[in-house]
Structure formats: C-alpha cells, structure tokens
C-alpha cells in the first residue's frame, strides 16, 4: 500500500486549487483588458475594498455579545409576596404558561394560626426561539396569614440578604467561575382588592424591603372590581406609596430621541402602577376563540385582553422590555448597597479586633497611640479582604450597618 507523505498530499490537493486561482486571475486580467471603462471612475468592488480598509470591525461587537449571551442563557429570579389566596400562584402560572405549583400543600385555618413565613423556590428552564431562560420563582407562603403578623416581612428580608451574602462570598472567593446568581431581581407585591388602599402590613412590608429589591405592586383579582373602582384604587394606592415614602421600582426615563409612540407607551406603563391583574389557569371559549380566562354566569373575563386588565402590560414589562433593567438595578443599586455596608461593617470589626489585641499587649498610653495609627493605616492602605484573612472567624452578616451609605439610581 502506498502511503502519501504530507508533502505529496499537499501537492495533490493544493496544486489544482493554485491552478484554478491563477486561471481566475488570468481570466479576470483578460476581462479587465476587454472591458476597461473609458472613464477613470473606480468600480463598485474597489470602492467596497477601499471601505473595508477603513472598517476596523468593532461594529460587529453587538453581534458577538449577542451570540455569547444566547449561548450562555439567561436567568431571572422573581419573588411573589402578599397574603395567601390573592392569586399569586395562578398569576405566575399564567405569566409563564407553566405549572409551577404542582406539589403545593394548602394549610387549614388551624394550622395557619401559628404558621411562620416559609420561603419556597421553584426553578424552570424555558426555551423560546433558541433562547434559554432559567426562571426562578420565590414564593412566600404564610405571609400575612397568622393572627399576629408583626414583622412577618423579616424572613423575606433575611432571604434576600442571604442571597446577596452568598453572592458576595462567591465573588470574593478564589474560584469566581460559574457563580450561581440567586439574587432576587423583582418582587411582585400583591395588594388586596377588597381593602381601602394599602393596609398597614403592605406599608410595613414595602418599606422594609424597598432598599433591597425592586418592588412592583400589583392590584390582585381586578375582575372583582368595576373599571371605576380600579381607577380610584390605583390613584389611592399611588398616593399612599408617595405619602409613606415607599420607593417602588422606577421605570427608567425614555431617551429624548425615542419616537412618540414609544414615549406614549412608556407613559402608559408608568400610569398603570399598580398593575391591575387577573389570573387564570383555564382556557375558555370567547367569541369563537379559545382564550385564557374566567367564566362567570354573566360573561367571560379574558386575562390577555387589555380592556379587561393590565396582565399583558405587566408581562411585557417583566419579560420583553424591563427584565434587563430589573437585573441591572439589582446589581448596581441593591447589591452595591449591601456590599458597601458589609465592607464598612467588616472594616469596623477588624479595627476593633486589632485594637483589642494591642490593648492586651501594651500599656494604656501606647495603646491609645497604636489605636489611632492602626485605625488610620487600616482604613487608608489595607484592603478589607487582607484584613479579613488576619482575623479568621468574622461573620459576614451586616446587621449593624450604617444608614449613610446607599447607592442611588
């Protein structure tokens, strides 16, 4: 058997191609001779070649980013909070067309008397047109259910802090690849349609969490109200949000060069707050079409009909227009605040620890001087993590945090 050497293989394969190239060159040269235009104007492909010389190629950067992020996939964590029975699970299922609550166990009245707030997490991988989304829904069963609901927002706040803490640890660790980001990007807060505006528990919850998470208030079960009642309730709730100094998620302002249609849509979205929503897991027939809705003796309420409720506006906002902004605000504002507070409180603890050690070793006058020197040198020249490594068992919980260190949007 004759084995081809690399040089022979190269001859076999490259030679014909080279011949073709030279043929093509000769052809094009003769073409050029045959059809040289009389005018000295450059031909179109020459103009293109000249343009190519000036084209560096960074205009393709958005495509590169797009390709990379599609490959990596996206994640989003949505929290739903509010009294049980307000339609949270029904709405989540309607929003993402999934059944996330298959194994849910509902408690009876007796069990709920002493119930504490639980935090449950459901994750689903959804794919649409090749784009993958890992969606995590964090639910808060038991919130507002007990007889005494004092501070029942606390476990929700602790959960959000724990996710920040985990991320902070991972980000400061040695292996920063593949960090699992469980930070909560948005909290849909369900307001009862039966009260007169906000209840004390609603105010307490939103005030306790507005610095930690993007709160989007929703008016639950809007089909139980007439359009006029919905309008009045929305105005009242917006006034109360303002009055109590609650900072809900703010939609970013439109750029001045956006077209009028876009600006109008944006304004409509802002005027919608709180979104009046209706949820349903059943498909009914309305005007010959099968739609997601609620069938009553007097008619059908369609979940996706903008004349009936703000469900579509809420879904578009969450998924199509503001998902990335919700993630950006979480990272740039809420997480930054947590991180800054943590670093401050850790620095304080380390300095205190150092001073305690010095005080044990040296007499009082020198200790006072050493205190001053260590304080200054630590704050100005040593990194917090350098300090952390010298005092090994520091807890990362930032409970005694100063209030003057908050990142603003």
Q: Which stretch binds ligand GDP (CB under 6 A): 58-66, 197-205, 218-226, 338-346?
A: 218-226
User: What six digits make up the tokens of 121?
Assistant: 């997490």
DSSP 332: I
Measured from the CB atom, is 82 or 197 closer to ligand GDP?
82
Q: How far is the CB of 310 from ligand GDP (least distance, A)?
A: 12
Measured from the CB atom, is 288 or 297 closer to ligand GDP?
297
CA angle 235–153–320, rounded 5-degree value: 55
Q: Which stretch binds ligand GDP (CB under 6 A): 56-64, 167-175, 220-228, 390-398?
A: 220-228
User: What six digits make up the tokens of 217?
Assistant: 């208030």
Angle between helices 364-381 and 336-361 (to 10 degrees): 150
Largest CA distance in the chain: 102
Measured from the CB atom, is 164 or 217 closer to ligand GDP?
217
Q: Considering the rule CB under 6 A, would residue 223 count as an interface residue with ligand GDP?
A: yes
Using Cβ positions, the residue closest to ligand GDP within the complex turns out to be 87
Residue 229: CB atoms within 10 A of its CB come to: 14
Q: How far is the CB of 339 from ligand GDP (least distance, A)?
A: 33
Residue spans of beta strands (DSSP E) within 206-249: 215-219
Q: How far is the CB of 99 from ligand GDP (least distance, A)?
A: 12
Of residues 224-243, which lie at the interface with ligand GDP (CB under 6 A)?
224
Q: How far is the CB of 327 from ligand GDP (least distance, A)?
A: 25
Contact 351, 359 (CB under 8 A): no
Residue spans of beta strands (DSSP E) within 157-298: 186-191, 215-219, 275-276, 283-286, 289-296
Q: How far is the CB of 112 from ligand GDP (least distance, A)?
A: 11
Measured from the CB atom, is 90 or 182 closer to ligand GDP?
90
Q: How far is the CB of 87 from ligand GDP (least distance, A)?
A: 3
Binding mask 277-306 for ligand GDP (x = CB under 6 A): -xx---------------------------
Q: How far is the CB of 106 from ligand GDP (least distance, A)?
A: 8
Q: Cα-Cα-Cα-Cα dihedral of 239, 242, 243, 247, to 10°?
A: 140
Of residues 74-93, which lie at the interface with ligand GDP (CB under 6 A)?
84-90
Q: How far is the CB of 96 from ligand GDP (least distance, A)?
A: 14
Contact 92, 86 (CB under 8 A): no
Q: Considering the rule CB under 6 A, would residue 221 count as an interface residue with ligand GDP?
A: yes
CA distance 240 to 274: 12
Binding mask 249-278 for ligand GDP (x = CB under 6 A): -----------------------------x
Measured in degrees and rounded to the nearest 5, phi and psi for residue 338 equal -60, -45
Measured from the CB atom, is 120 or 391 closer to ligand GDP?
120
Q: How far is the CB of 80 from ligand GDP (least distance, A)?
A: 8
Q: Which stretch binds ligand GDP (CB under 6 A): 217-225, 267-275, 337-345, 381-389?
A: 217-225
Closest CA to 234 of 203, 278, 270: 270
Length of the chain: 409
Measured from the CB atom, is 88 or 313 closer to ligand GDP?
88
Q: Considering the rule CB under 6 A, would residue 182 count as an interface residue with ligand GDP?
A: no
Look at residue 138 and give its three-state secondary structure. strand
Q: How far is the CB of 109 from ligand GDP (least distance, A)?
A: 14
3-state helix, strand, coil in the chain (%, to 5): 50, 15, 35
CA distance 351 to 272: 50
Look at residue 353 and give its three-state secondary structure. helix
Interaction site with ligand GDP (CB under 6 A): 84-90, 221, 223-224, 278-279
């Amino acid at each position: 058997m004759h084995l081809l050497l690399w040089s022979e293989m190269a001859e076999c394969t490259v030679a014909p191609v080279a011949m073709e190239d030279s043929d093509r060159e000769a052809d094009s040269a003769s073409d050029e001779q045959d059809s040289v235009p009389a005018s000295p104007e450059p031909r179109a492909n020459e103009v293109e070649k000249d343009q190519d010389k000036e084209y560096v190629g960074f205009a393709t950067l958005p495509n590169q980013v797009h390709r990379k992020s599609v490959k990596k996939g996206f994640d989003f964590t949505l929290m739903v909070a509010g009294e049980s029975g307000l339609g949270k699970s029904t709405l989540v299922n309607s929003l993402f067309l999934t059944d996330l609550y298959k194994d849910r166990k509902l408690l009876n009245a007796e069990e709920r008397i002493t119930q504490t707030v639980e935090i449950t997490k459901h994750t689903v991988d959804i794919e649409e047109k090749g784009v993958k989304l890992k969606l995590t829904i964090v639910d808060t069963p038991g919130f507002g259910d007990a007889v005494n609901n004092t501070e029942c927002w606390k476990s929700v706040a602790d959960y959000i802090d724990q996710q920040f803490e985990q991320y902070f640890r991972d980000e400061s660790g040695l292996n920063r690849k593949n960090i699992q980001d469980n930070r909560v990007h948005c909290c849909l807060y369900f307001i009862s349609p039966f009260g007169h505006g906000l209840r004390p528990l609603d105010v307490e919850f939103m005030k306790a969490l507005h610095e930690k998470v993007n709160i989007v208030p929703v008016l639950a079960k809007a089909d139980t109200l007439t359009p006029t009642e919905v309008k009045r309730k929305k105005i009242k709730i917006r006034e109360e949000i303002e009055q109590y100094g609650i900072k809900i998620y703010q939609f970013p302002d439109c750029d001045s060069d956006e077209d009028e249609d876009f600006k109008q849509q944006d304004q409509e979205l802002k005027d919608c707050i709180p979104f009046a929503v209706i949820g349903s897991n059943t498909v009914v027939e309305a005007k010959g079409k099968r739609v997601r809705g609620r069938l009553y003796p007097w008619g059908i309420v369609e979940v996706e009909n903008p004349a009936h409720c703000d469900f579509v506006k809420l879904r578009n906002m969450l998924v199509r227009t503001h998902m990335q902004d919700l993630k950006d605000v979480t990272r740039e504002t809420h997480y930054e605040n947590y991180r800054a507070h943590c670093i401050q409180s850790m620095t304080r603890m380390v300095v205190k620890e150092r001073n305690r050690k010095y005080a044990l070793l040296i007499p009082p006058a020198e200790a006072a001087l050493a205190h001053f020197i260590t304080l200054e040198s630590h704050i100005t020249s040593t990194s917090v993590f350098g300090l952390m490594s010298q005092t090994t068992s520091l807890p990362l919980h930032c409970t005694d945090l100063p209030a003057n260190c908050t990142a603003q949007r």
